[in-house]
């Protein structure tokens, strides 16, 4: 544990950014750093697992233990990390392509397991780093280099999928709404279980349709909806369907959930990585009896 | 008096033959004999032919037997398929209930086991009756079987014990009566209590991993690797650990990378199709220098191939698979005791060399049971390898620690999440000393060299890790090179060739990467004729030897029909190759 008072500088690295000026990912990075500072998580207790794509570079800019993995595999890598040392604050981060195309299978299974991981998806509805192809969240008819006649596939609805799969915390942030995004990330980290925070993070270079202005006009801020109750799963699902997921705020949170780690039999509170692994001779011999 | 007997039971899958075979093998093992138990099975749950064989001997034998003394047939298909495996004086024991038909020359002993079992009040006694009859025909004492029954079913009450005892006695009486004087007589087991285990290679790998500090297993079910996950799941709750059945093999290895990064010892186990999927994250582990262990229980490939059949076709995939060039240590146990030691060693090597360590098992090793001395926990060390010093990290402050620093060995100290000032970026992208991404050509060359060179020579505890184990005379006329489960057949073949007057030696390759090239060069140059015995079609080890400059001629003895080598089969094929060259064989 660090003893002195932390500042935002404690969560930053000296690395210069590779992102385009104006990229939504700057806002996500800033919000994450602010949330970690507000929660006073010491940098050495943070493990950040990032995917491939522009968003996956987020780990380069956060002073924490960073694991930058293969495309689409943030979910299982983060699970292994969390189970390896459950004392850590584990954050996964990636883009819509990383999470909902190549990583879709892992996304659903991570939710089913409900480990205490916070997953930030920086959703810009396009592939940026490969210079402008359609993404699983691209709208039908969206013109890209790989869909010159417009995409003819139905877009993925990640939050509905998540709730259907049993997600216990689902939110959507917007990189332009820093205050709300910081609050959502803090709530996600504090939630005991898996938290999906899909974050609208516009691509200023390749997505000329879903721009900051477009989102500002299209998104409904759930904080402004009277009587919206994020503990009501049916209402959350209905809201997402009505609005085609164009909402921002806390969509759904199940209280009193038990994360995966708490449901494992014999799993101790101390991180596995910190334990003494020498087996007791009697325990080992008892096992050998099964083979005698 | 025989020093070796071979017993086989065959019938339909789902008839309980596996547990019957398990009883027979366990009892023989407990009695103090050496057992090698193997089976034929299919990729289906019920129906289809299955058979189990126990090779019971006074000494350690680790390959399928040439012929069977007593075969138990539980259906006609077993008779049609297997009676060719009987010795000329072998006995076929069959349940008369299905009206067995045999060809001429087969010595059939049949009585209605099904009806007898029903009379005794439980149809499952049929298999126990068969065991009793088998023991009588083989000249094995019944008492060890009775002791086992008490041990296994005592908790269920005296009635169950009595019923089983009676089934054993009935079977033995019937068989003795029908066989007359034609029974075999196995020489008695050693006097006194013998404490040995009967384990498969999968059991041994899982137990070695547990002993070696593995506390996280992430795997996806696949034949013939699934037991490793199951064993971890069974025992971890006793001392804290996590076994997760993942959604696929991509996730299994990704989870191992995450766990390895956290500092815990993590492992996955799979077979060929899973290994293909794991290639991307083997690259990631190599690039990020994250320790982890992968077990490959090789089976017939490519694609789905033959899931329940033996092969060693994954060497290239294990050593060279995937894109780019990354370090991988590949160990090759051939026996269960080696599998136990290698599994524990694998974690120490992973932690000392910061790369994936792969264990090249194979179906024959993974699935078949063998007698071993009890595994010795005290022989297992846990050595975490080069680690950053927490006090030193506190002193130097942040942004100073170089996770990928240059070092003479090429291995640089790791920090673990939780260590103050040890933060770094572990990335699959090329990076500099602190982990920051860079494509600088000089850095690239330095990093590639460091990662690839660090595993050129393996040491543990200051001693070289043996890459090869040789048994046999100096300058042998015939050198048999092998690895994995075929080693049992190679050892037997060397004996058989020895009986023919040829001085034969066996080199068991224990590390497939880095290959023990100096020893292989020396041995092949000093031997008269060298043969590489492998269960694959391309001669993958021989290929790797040649590619790495082992220049002396080595001929391949290959088998890729899905079955294991037998000792006399290897001897015969080597003999044939020698005769073709007109080498005089006595």
The pLDDT, as a whole number, for residue B519 is: 98
Contacting residues of B for A113, CB less than 8 Å apart? 244
User: pLDDT class for B200, splitting at 50, 70, 90?
Assistant: very high
Q: What is the CATH number of the domain that holds A119?
A: 3.40.50.970
Q: Do B168 and B133 share a domain, yes or no?
A: yes
Q: Does B364 touch chain A (CB under 8 A)?
A: no
Handedness of CA B296, B300, B305, B306 (dihedral sign): negative
Residue B105 in domain:
yes
Minimum Cα–Cα distance from A85: chain B residue: B262
Q: Is residue A284 part of a domain?
A: no
pLDDT of residue B586: 44
Q: Is the domain of B15 the same as that of B163? A: yes
Asked if B229 and B372 sit in the same domain, the reply is yes
* Cα separation, B520 vs B78, whole angstroms: 44
Q: What is the pLDDT of residues B471-480, one digit of tens each?
A: 999 999 999 9
Domain check: are B230 and B359 in the same one? yes
Contact between A266 and B264 using a beta-carbon 8 Å cutoff: no
Question: Chain A: nearest CA to B314, how far in angstroms?
Answer: 23
What H or E segment, with its residue span, contains residue B542? helix B540-547
Interface of A with B in 97-116 (CB under 8 A): 105-106, 109, 113
Say whether pLDDT at A123 is over 80.
Answer: yes
- CA B336 to chain centroid, in Å, comes to 6
Q: Among B460, B490, B514, where does a domain finish? A: B460
With 80 as the cut, is the pLDDT of residue B42 above it?
A: no
Tokens for B530? 């060298």
Within a domain: B388: yes
CA-nearest residue of chain A to B233? Answer: A265
- Pick from A15, A67, A264, A267 the residue to mutate for testing the B interface (most B CBs within 10 Å): A67
> Tokens representing B235?
């025992």
B263–A85 C-beta distance less than 8 A: yes
CA–CA dist B19, B15 (Å, integer): 9
> Does A1 have pLDDT greater than 50?
no
**Above pLDDT 70, what percent of chain A?**
99
Considering only CB atoms, B254 lies closest to which of A64, A80, A284, namely A80
Domain boundary among B351, B379, B407: B379
Chain B residue whose CA is closest to A16: B436
**Same domain, residue pair B266 and B362:** yes
* Domain around B175: 4-179
3-state secondary structure (DSSP) of residue A63: coil
Nearest-5° angle of CA B85, CA B175, CA B89? 35
Position A189 in a domain:
yes
Q: For chain A, how many residues are written?
A: 292
Q: CA distances (Å), B533 to each of B315, B526, B537, in order?
A: 14, 18, 11
Residues of A in contact with B204 (CB under 8 A): none
Residue B186 domain-assigned? no
Q: Which of A48, A56, A80, A89 to mutate to test the interface with B (most CBs of B within 10 A)?
A: A80
**Shared-domain flag, residues B31 and B172:** yes
B356 and B300 together in one domain: yes
With beta carbons less than 8 A apart as the criterion, state whether A65 and A44 touch.
yes
CB B418 within 8 A of CB A85: yes
Give yes or no for B259 touching A (CB within 8 A): yes
Q: For residue B193, tell me if it sits in a domain.
A: no
* Residue A15 within any structural domain of the chain: yes
Per CB-CB distance under 8 Å, the chain B contacts of A15 are: 436
Residues 6+ apart with CB under 8 A from B275: B249, B294, B296, B314, B317, B318, B321
pTM over 0.90: yes
Name the phi and psi angles at B245, rounded to 5.
-80, 110
The token pair at B241 is 């650990």
Q: Of B126, B145, B179, which residue is a domain's last?
A: B179
Report the mean per-residue pLDDT for chain B: 96
Q: Find residues 337-356 of chain B whose CB sits inside 8 Å of chain A.
A: none
Is A248 within the bounds of a domain? yes
Taking the CA of residue A219 and the nearest CA in chain B, the distance in Å comes to 34
Q: Which residues 6+ apart lie within 8 Å of B14 measured at CB?
A: B45, B46, B47
Q: Pairing state of beta strands B292-300 and B306-310?
A: antiparallel
| DSSP states of B125-191 | HHHHHHHHHHHHHHT--SHHHHHHHHHHHGGG-HHHHHHHHHHHHHHHHHHHHHHTT----BPPPPS
B403 and chain A in contact, CB less than 8 A: no
Closest by CA to B170, choosing from B123, B124, B136, B139, is B136
- Does residue A59 have a pLDDT over 90? yes
Enumerate the residues of chain A whose CB falls inside 8 A of the CB of residue B420: 1-2, 42, 44
Confidence of residue B15 (pLDDT cuts 50, 70, 90): confident
Distance from the B579 Cα atom to the nearest Cα atom in chain A, whole angstroms: 45
Does A287 touch chain B if contact means CB atoms closer than 8 Å? yes
Q: Are B508 and B405 in a shared domain?
A: no
**CA-CA distance, A104 to A99, in Å (whole number)?**
6
CA dihedral B557, B558, B564, B565 (to 10 degrees): -10
Tell me whether residues B211 and A82 touch, CB distance under 8 A. no
Listed in sequence order, the DSSP H helices in A132-272 are 158-164, 178-190, 212-218, 233-242, 260-263
Helix (H, G, I), strand (E, B) or coil at B121: coil
Tally of domains within chain B: 4
Residue A171 in domain: yes
**What's the pLDDT at B583?**
53
In this prediction, residue B48 has a pLDDT band, given cuts at 50, 70 and 90, of confident
Q: How far, in Å, CA of B9 to CA of B312, rounded?
A: 27
Partners of residue A105 in chain B, C-beta under 8 Å: 247-248, 251
Q: Is the pLDDT of residue B352 over 60?
A: yes
Residue A206 inside a domain? The answer is: yes
B501 inside domain: yes
The verdict on B213 and B353 lying in the same domain is: yes
**Confidence (pLDDT) at B542:** 98
The confidence band for B428, taking pLDDT boundaries of 50, 70 and 90, is very high
Is any Cβ of chain B less than 8 angstroms from the Cβ of A284?
Answer: yes
**A residues 18..57 contacting B (CB < 8 A):** 42-47, 49
Count Cα atoms within 13 angstroms, Cβ side, for A62: 36
Which two structure tokens, joined as six digits, stand for B219? 């795997």
- Domains in chain A, number: 1
Interval B295-348: pLDDT, tens? 999 999 999 999 999 999 999 999 999 999 999 999 999 999 999 999 999 999
Residue B373 domain-assigned (yes or no):
yes
Does position B584 have pLDDT exceeding 90, yes or no?
no
Verify that B415 and B358 share a domain, yes or no.
Answer: no
Structure tokens at A138: 């691209």
Q: Is B288 on the interface with A (CB under 8 A)?
A: yes
- Mean pLDDT confidence for B203-226: 98
Residue of B nearest to A279 (CA): B211
Question: Are B375 and A288 within 8 A, CB to CB?
Answer: yes
Q: Provide the token pair at B366.
A: 């993974």
A280 within domain boundaries: no
The CA distance from B61 to A65, in Å, is 51
User: pLDDT tens-digit profile of A126-184?
Assistant: 999 999 999 999 999 999 999 999 999 999 999 999 999 999 999 999 999 999 999 99
Q: List pLDDT tens digits, range A78-88.
A: 999 999 999 99
Residues B409, B529, single domain; the answer is no
Arithmetic mean of pLDDT, A99-105: 98
* Chain A residue closest in CA terms to B27: A292
- Please tell me the distance in Å from B420's CA to the nearest CA on chain A: 5
B88, B98 Cβ separation under 8 angstroms: no
Residue B445 counted as domain residue: yes
Containing B371, the helix (H) or strand (E) segment is strand B369-372
B438 touching chain A per CB within 8 A: no
First vs last Cα of chain B: how many Å apart? 29
Query: Nearest residue on chain A to B283, judged by CA atoms?
Result: A70
Q: Which domain covers residue A183, as residue numbers?
A: 8-264
A6 touches chain B (CB under 8 A): no
pLDDT band for position B580 (cuts 50, 70, 90): confident
Whether B43 shows a pLDDT value over 90: the answer reads no
Q: Does residue B308 sit in the same domain as residue B435?
A: no
CA distance B146 to B528: 52
Minimal-distance CA residue of chain B relative to A266: B237
Rg (CA), chain B: 26
Q: Which residue of B has its CA nearest to A272?
A: B264
Report if residue A249 sits inside a domain.
Answer: yes
Question: Has residue A27 got a pLDDT over 90?
Answer: yes
SS3 assignment, position B462:
coil
Mean local confidence (pLDDT), B382-410:
96
Write out pLDDT tens, residues B168-193. Answer: 999 999 999 999 999 999 999 888 88
**Cβ <8 Å between A288 and B250:** no
- Examine residue B409 and state whether it is found in any structural domain, yes or no: yes
State chain A's mean pLDDT as an integer. Answer: 97
Mutate which: B253, B262, B265, B403, vs A, most A CBs within 10 A? B262
Q: What is the pLDDT of residues B502-550, one digit of tens each?
A: 999 999 999 999 999 999 999 999 999 999 999 999 999 999 999 999 9
Task: Give the helix/strand (H/E) hosting A79.
Answer: helix A74-84
* Beta-carbon-side half-sphere exposure of residue B295 (alpha carbons within 13 Å): 41
Q: How far off is chain B from A4, nearest CA to CA, in Å?
A: 13
């Amino acid at each position: 544990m660090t003893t002195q008072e932390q500042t935002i500088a404690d969560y930053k690295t000296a690395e210069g950014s590779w992102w385009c000026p104006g990229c939504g990912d700057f806002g996500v990075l800033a919000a994450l750093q602010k949330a970690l500072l507000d929660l006073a998580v010491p940098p050495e207790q943070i493990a950040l697992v990032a995917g491939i794509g522009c968003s996956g570079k987020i780990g380069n800019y956060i002073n924490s233990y960073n694991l930058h993995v293969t495309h689409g595999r943030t979910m299982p890598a983060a699970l292994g990390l969390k189970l390896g040392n459950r004392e850590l604050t584990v954050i996964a981060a990636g883009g819509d392509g990383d999470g909902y195309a190549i990583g879709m299978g892992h996304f659903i299974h991570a939710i089913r397991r409900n480990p205490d991981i916070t997953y930030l998806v920086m959703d810009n509805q396009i592939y940026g780093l490969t210079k402008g192809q359609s993404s699983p969240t691209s709208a039908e008819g969206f013109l890209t280099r790989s869909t010159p006649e417009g995409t003819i596939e139905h877009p993925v609805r990640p939050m509905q999928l998540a709730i259907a799969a049993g997600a216990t915390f689902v939110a959507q942030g917007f990189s332009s709404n820093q205050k709300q995004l910081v609050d959502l990330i803090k709530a996600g980290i504090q939630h005991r279980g898996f938290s999906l925070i899909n974050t609208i993070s516009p691509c200023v270079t390749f997505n000329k349709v879903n721009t900051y202005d477009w989102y500002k006009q299209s998104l409904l801020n759930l904080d402004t909806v009277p009587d919206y109750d994020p503990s009501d799963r049916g209402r959350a699902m209905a809201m997402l369907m009505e609005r085609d997921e164009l909402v921002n705020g806390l969509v759904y949170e199940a209280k009193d959930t038990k994360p995966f780690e708490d449901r494992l039999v014999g799993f101790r509170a101390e991180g596995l990585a910190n334990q003494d692994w020498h087996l007791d001779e009697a325990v080992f011999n008892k096992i050998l009896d099964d083979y005698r | 008096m025989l020093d070796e007997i071979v017993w086989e039971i065959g019938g339909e899958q789902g008839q309980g033959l596996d547990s019957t075979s398990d009883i027979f093998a366990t009892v023989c093992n407990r009695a103090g004999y050496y057992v090698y138990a193997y089976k034929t099975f299919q990729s289906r749950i019920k129906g289809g032919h299955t058979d189990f064989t126990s090779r019971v001997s006074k000494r350690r034998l680790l390959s399928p037997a040439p012929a069977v003394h007593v075969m138990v047939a539980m259906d006609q298909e077993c008779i049609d398929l297997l009676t060719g495996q009987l010795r000329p004086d072998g006995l076929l024991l069959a349940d008369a209930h299905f009206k067995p038909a045999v060809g001429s020359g087969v010595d059939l002993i049949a009585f209605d086991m099904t009806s007898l079992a029903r009379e005794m009040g439980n149809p499952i006694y049929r298999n126990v009756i068969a065991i009793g009859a088998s023991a009588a025909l083989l000249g094995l004492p019944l008492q060890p079987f009775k002791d086992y029954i008490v041990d296994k079913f005592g908790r269920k009450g005296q009635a169950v014990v009595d019923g089983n005892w009676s089934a054993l006695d009935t079977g033995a009486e019937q068989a003795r009566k029908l066989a007359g004087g034609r029974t075999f007589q196995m020489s008695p087991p050693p006097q006194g209590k013998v404490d040995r285990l009967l384990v498969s290679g999968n059991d041994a790998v899982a137990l070695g991993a547990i002993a070696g500090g593995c506390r996280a297993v992430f795997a996806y079910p696949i034949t013939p690797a699934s037991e490793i996950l199951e064993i971890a799941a069974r025992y971890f709750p006793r001392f804290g650990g996590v076994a997760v059945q993942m959604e696929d093999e991509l996730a299994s290895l990704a989870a191992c990378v995450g766990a390895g990064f956290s500092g815990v010892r993590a492992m996955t186990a799979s077979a060929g199709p899973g290994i293909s999927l794991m290639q991307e994250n083997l690259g990631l582990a190599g690039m990020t220098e994250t320790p982890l262990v992968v077990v490959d229980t090789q089976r017939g490939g490519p694609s789905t191939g033959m899931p329940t059949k033996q092969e060693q076709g994954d060497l290239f995939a294990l050593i060279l698979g995937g894109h780019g060039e990354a370090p991988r240590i590949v160990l090759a146990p051939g026996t269960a005791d080696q599998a136990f030691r290698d599994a524990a060693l694998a974690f120490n090597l992973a932690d000392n060399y910061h790369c994936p360590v792969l264990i090249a098992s194979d179906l024959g090793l993974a699935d078949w049971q063998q007698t071993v001395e009890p595994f010795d926990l005290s022989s297992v060390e846990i050595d975490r390898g080069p680690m950053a010093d927490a006090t030193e990290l506190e002193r130097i402050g942040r942004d100073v620690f170089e996770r990928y620093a240059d070092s003479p060995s090429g291995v640089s100290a790791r920090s673990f999440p939780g260590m103050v000032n040890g933060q770094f970026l572990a990335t699959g992208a090329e990076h500099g000393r602190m982990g920051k991404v860079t494509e600088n050509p000089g850095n690239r060359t330095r990093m590639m060299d460091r990662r690839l060179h660090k595993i050129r020579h393996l040491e543990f505890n200051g001693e070289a890790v043996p890459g090869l184990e040789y048994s046999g005379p100096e300058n042998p006329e015939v050198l048999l090179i092998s690895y994995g489960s075929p080693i049992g057949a190679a050892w037997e073949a060397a004996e058989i060739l020895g009986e023919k007057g040829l001085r034969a030696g066996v080199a068991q390759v224990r590390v497939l990467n880095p290959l023990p090239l100096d020893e292989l060069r020396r041995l092949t140059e000093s031997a008269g004729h060298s043969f590489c015995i492998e269960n694959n079609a391309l001669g993958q080890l021989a290929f790797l030897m040649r590619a790495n400059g082992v220049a002396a001629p080595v001929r391949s003895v290959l088998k890729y029909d899905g079955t294991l080598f037998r000792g006399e089969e290897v001897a015969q094929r080597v003999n044939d190759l020698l005769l073709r060259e007109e080498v005089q064989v006595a």
